[in-house]
Structure 1
Amino acid sequence: MPTETFLETPQARRIAYHLTPGTGPCIVFLGGLKSDMEGTKAVHLECWAKGQGRAFLRFDYSGHGESSGTFTDGCIGDWAEDTRAAVSVLTDGPLLVVGSSMGGWQALLLARAVPERIAGLVTIAAAPDFTEDGYWASFTDAQKHALKTVGHVELPSDYMEPYIISKRMIEDGRRHLVLRDPLHLPFPSRFLQGTADTAVSTDTALRLLEHATGPDMRLTLVKDADHRFSDDACLDLIEEAITDVLAAID
């Protein structure tokens, strides 16, 4: 395993990354909430990209993996800043962005911030606006009171230790919602979603498909696939989606 390299962002956060040289567009993997760049999908796709001679970037948001900071201090806007810094400094030219879960939201924010650089998009169980439509919408009155008085609430996870959700994450999330305003994706976009996903529902995937506009968008529902979307069959589907986007770009 190669040693991590670090990037200092304009916000003085230290971001760990792995960059594989190759032909463009550079494939950028954006991971999920509390995931890191050593996850199954990120490492598998890096290996696949190397085999294809494609440029590939994976990195840890601040408060994740080997990057600086703590998760509980972070929020959607911080991780969007990390993403923009990584692609701005480490890559040139067009990008094919692959976003998993929260990384799907980050991919949409990146497309909104630098639309001229996005050549294609693949999302895996994308979770746009989840701080508002998932967390806040499901909080009890007691949890909302705790958020205001204690500053955070603790939520169970099916996949790891409980999430500590801060008041700052909820308030910052409202400044970065993407499903309330027009969302134009003028490039090939492929959305992948498992029907057995207990973290992100198929309703979310359908809402994204219906809300966004663009000339070439497709949603693939995979029966019985869960939120990890990382067994061999699902990894093959991600490769196929990237290949399909690359073909449409070329």
Structure 2
Amino acid sequence: MREEAGRLDDRLAWSRLPGAGPGVVFLPGYRSDMQGSKALALRDHCAARGQAFLRLDYGGHGASAGRFEDGTIGQWAADALAVFDALTSGPQVLVGSSMGGWIALLLARQRRERLAGLIGLAPAPDFTETLMWPALPPSQQAALMRDGIIHLPSQYGEPTPVTRALIEDGSRQSVLGQPIDLPCPVRILQGMADPDVPWRHALRLVEALTGGDVRLHLIKDGDHRLSRPEDLRLLAQTLDAILDDPTSAD
């Protein structure tokens, strides 16, 4: 099977691998895109299984149109939902990396009946309010509120733009302050050496999830990216366990 690629509404870039259901949808993280190592590893794994697979870039990310600085959590979640509705059918397993874990939860709330499973890789729901904003010194908080944007150093490349709109919208998109009821298996893979999303943040998500089929896998030496060969093998094994469960196709 050959991977297809295109743009939804001439704006949102996507790549899709036809195959059997349940399908798998990969949701990348903040300033990441669908060309990352986890997305490509999942594509290759799904191709080997003959499984349907979809990856995408939110607006302002990767090959999609728009400026990153103009995006918010709510807008990127709407982007993911639009691509999901246009390009998938039947049950789907959502795989969200970092911010993509938050996007996956927001998408799951909108399409609850379509869920076959959800996997969070260092998931970062509510990170703007609980992780990013508190980490800013008062001078940067004031500058952000005054100027509407600041740029923070990043160990992954160029400085990261953070906007006032992102912070304010993030509060409106919060999910951890209320029970999260998902009718599917939920698996969370979290590194304990993650400098960006502390492993205790994953515990907050586990506590918010009301379903019984929720498992948290802590990786003692795992970093935020979880892209080492052993991390990618664990991801593939975790996905296989969900896909091979006969109830996932219901």
Question: Structure 1 length normalisation: TM-score?
Answer: 0.95
Asked if residue 105 in structure 1 is aligned to residue 106 in structure 2, the reply is no
Instruction: State the alpha-carbon separation in 2 of the partners of residues 2 and 213 from structure 1.
Output: 36
Is residue 38 from structure 1 mapped to residue 39 from structure 2 by the alignment? no
Does the 8 Å CA contact 1:186/1:215 hold for their aligned counterparts?
no
Deviation track 1:192-234 (CA, whole Å, cap 9, x = no partner) reads 0011111111011111111211020000001111111011100
Residue in 1 aligned with 2:152? 155
- Residue in 2 that maps onto 1:131: 128
Separation in 1, partners of 2:171, 2:116: 27
Pick aligned residue for 1:221 from 204, 218, 222: 218
Whole-Å Cα distance in 1 between the matches of residues 212 and 182 of structure 2? Answer: 8
Equivalent of 1:209, from 197, 203, 206? 206
Secondary structure of 1:154's match? strand
Distance 2:24 2:15 in 1: 12
Cα offset, 1:247, TM superposition: 2.7
1: CA distance between counterparts of 2:4 and 2:65? 16
Map residues 90-101 of structure 1 onto 2, 5 A cutoff.
90-101=87-98
| Cα distance between partner residues in 2 of 1:2 and 1:71 | 26
Match of 1:173 in 2: 170
Equivalent residues, number: 246
Q: Secondary structure at the match of 1:161?
A: strand
Q: Judge conservation of contact 1:189–1:245 (CA < 8 Å) in 2.
A: no
Separation in structure 1 between the aligned mates of residue 156 and residue 192 of structure 2, nearest angstrom:
17
| 3-state DSSP of counterpart to 1:28 | strand
Structure 2 vs 1, CA of residues 242 and 15 (structure 1 numbering), >3 Å: closer, same or farther?
Answer: same
- Which residue does 2:7 correspond to in 1? 6
Alignment check: 8 A CA contact 1:187 1:215 kept = no
| Alpha-carbon spacing, 1:149–1:131, altered in 2? closer, same or farther (3 Å) | same
Which one is further off, 63-72 or 239-248? 239-248
Q: Give % identity.
A: 48
- 1:29/1:99 contact within 8 Å kept: yes
Amino acid at match of 2:142: H
Alignment equivalent of 1:81, drawn from 50, 75, 78: 78
SS in 1 for 2:171: helix
Secondary structure in 1 matching 2:157? coil
Alpha-carbon distance between aligned partners in 2 of 1:162 and 1:200, rounded to the nearest angstrom = 18
Aligned-partner Cα distance in 2 for 1:205–1:218: 11
Is the CA contact (8 Å cut-off) linking 1:190 and 1:245 kept in structure 2?
Answer: no
In 2, the alpha carbon distance for the partners of 1:2 and 1:236 equals 22
Deviation at 1:157, TM superposition (A): 1.8
Displacement of 1:158 after TM fit?
Answer: 2.1
Of stretches 103-112 and 180-189 in structure 1, the one that deviates more from structure 2 is: 180-189
1:51-98, Cα deviation, whole Å (9 max, x unpaired): 100000001110000000011111101100000000100011111000
The answer as to whether partners of 1:119 and 1:187 remain within 8 angstroms in 2 is yes
Counterpart-to-counterpart distance in 1, 2:240 and 2:211: 19
Change (3 A) 1:146 1:201: same
Letter in 1 for 2:188: F
Range that drifts further, 226-235 or 13-22: 13-22
